[in-house]
Amino acid sequence: MIIALVLSVGGVALKQSKLVVAGALFFMPPSLYLSGYPGIRWLAIFLPFFILGAAYLVREKRHEIAWLLLVPPVGIVLWLAYLVMEQTRNFSGV
């Protein structure tokens, strides 16, 4: 997921839609995995399409809106990172 986000954010920042598409392709397996989680089942399925939409907007030179389409995937990854960190903190007894 980190590689997918780096490619996606880097592609929008560098204004290269091919990098954003590569990020969407790398994000597909994790999104399919996350679609098994009941809380975000339907959102997780659509996350690569948000990134593909950002790639389309980069190609159309609408970079400001492309950044907005990257918010849901980045938010889900940050939420998942928070859950993992909380779990490890609770597991260690700290």
Higher-confidence position of 92 and 44? 44
Question: Which domain range does residue 64 map to?
Answer: 2-92
Instruction: Determine the average pLDDT of the residues in 60-87.
Output: 93
Number of domains in the chain: 1
The pLDDT-based confidence of 92 (bands split at 50, 70, 90) is low
Alpha helices in 1-94 (DSSP H): 2-14, 17-34, 41-59, 63-69, 71-92
Label residues 69-86 b or e (16+ Cβ within 10 Å = b). bbebbbebbeeeeeeeee
For the question of whether the overall pTM of this predicted structure is more than 0.85, the answer is yes
Q: Are 63 and 57 in contact (CB under 8 A)?
A: yes
Q: Which two tokens stand for residue 42?
A: 């339907």
